[in-house]
């Protein structure tokens, strides 16, 4: 028997979780929301509206659009988005350790 | 912003979680799977098959049927079901404290 768990953040509805974290990481890697969406097998419009809903719930912007330039423009994470992502991943990592320890205590 | 989380147990598929825990508690209180299902707004057949699937995954029986007697028969939890339920609730309680502390650390 093994433990499964999920955690996410809410603020009058879900605002952030593993899916959005993956999407932001993919934007950060590829420099493009369109590429990030494709990589995660999401439609661009779903990725776009997911981000918009998150920004609404969080109260700050997650992406900055860069227009033109040698790479033809794209998206980068705002400092607030980077901060949220870093906190969320650190929180998840420590939660995993902590829940694993408690699981072993009660079910080991 | 607040934390939301869910944890459950798996063994080649989900075997136990908050829903089943509530169902077992309700059987324990009412002495009847039929009453427990009604109390949780589940159909009797859904409750019955949920329990059967859990027993399959867990490898032990959860309910003992008592037939006849002054109360007309019903269901009680097996010792293994009581043990699982106790462990799960204790685990959840400690997980809540632990996750709350980590959430405050990273997002407080």
Q: What is the model's pLDDT at position A101?
A: 94
Q: What is the model's pLDDT at position B60?
A: 94
- The beta-carbon neighbor of A99 closest among B3, B7, B90 is B7
**Is the Cβ pair A5, B5 closer than 8 Å?**
yes
CB A4 within 8 A of CB B9: yes
Residue-wise pLDDT tens digits, B6-61: 888 887 788 899 999 999 999 999 999 999 999 999 999 999 999 999 999 889 99
Query: Could you tell me the fold of the domain covering B9-107?
Result: Arc Repressor Mutant, subunit A (1.10.10)
Q: What is the ipTM of this complex?
A: 0.87
Binned at pLDDT 50, 70 and 90, residue B93 comes out as very high
Binned at pLDDT 50, 70 and 90, residue A4 comes out as confident
Q: What is the model's pLDDT at position A26?
A: 97
Identify any residues that bridge with B63 across adjacent strands, giving them in sequence order: B77
CA B32, B33, B38: angle at the middle one, nearest 5?
Answer: 100
**Is the Cβ pair B1, A14 closer than 8 Å?**
no
- The beta-carbon neighbor of B4 closest among A7, A88, A90 is A7
Q: What is the CATH number of domain A13-107?
A: 1.10.10.10
Interface with chain A: mutation pick from B2, B6, B7, highest number of A CBs within 10 Å: B7
CA distance A95 to A17: 14
For residue B78, is pLDDT > 80?
yes
Residues sharing a CB contact under 8 Å with residue A62, sequence separation 6 or more, in sequence order: A24, A51, A54, A55, A77, A78, A80, A81, A84
Q: What is the model's pLDDT at position B70?
A: 66
CB A65 within 8 A of CB A73: yes
Q: Is the dihedral of CA B38, B41, B45, B46 positive or negative?
A: negative
| Number of CB atoms found within 10 A of residue B108's CB | 8
Measured in whole angstroms, the distance separating CA B60 from the mean position of its chain's CA atoms is 14
> How many Cβ contacts (< 8 angstroms) between chains A and B?
83
Has this prediction a pTM greater than 0.90?
no
Interface with chain B: mutation pick from A8, A16, A83, A98, highest number of B CBs within 10 Å: A98
Binned at pLDDT 50, 70 and 90, residue B108 comes out as confident
Residue-wise pLDDT tens digits, A42-78: 999 999 999 999 999 889 999 998 877 666 679 999 9
């Amino acid at each position: 028997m093994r433990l499964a768990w999920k955690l996410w953040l809410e603020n009058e509805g879900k605002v952030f979780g593993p899916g959005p974290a993956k999407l932001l990481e993919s934007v950060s890697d590829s420099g493009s929301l369109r590429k990030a969406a494709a990589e995660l097998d999401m439609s661009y419009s779903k990725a776009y509206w997911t981000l918009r809903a998150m920004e609404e719930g969080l109260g700050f912007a997650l992406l900055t659009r860069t227009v033109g330039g040698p790479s033809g423009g794209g998206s980068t994470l705002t400092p607030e988005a980077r901060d949220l992502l870093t906190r969320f991943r650190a929180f998840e990592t420590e939660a995993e350790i902590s829940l694993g320890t408690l699981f072993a205590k009660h079910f080991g």
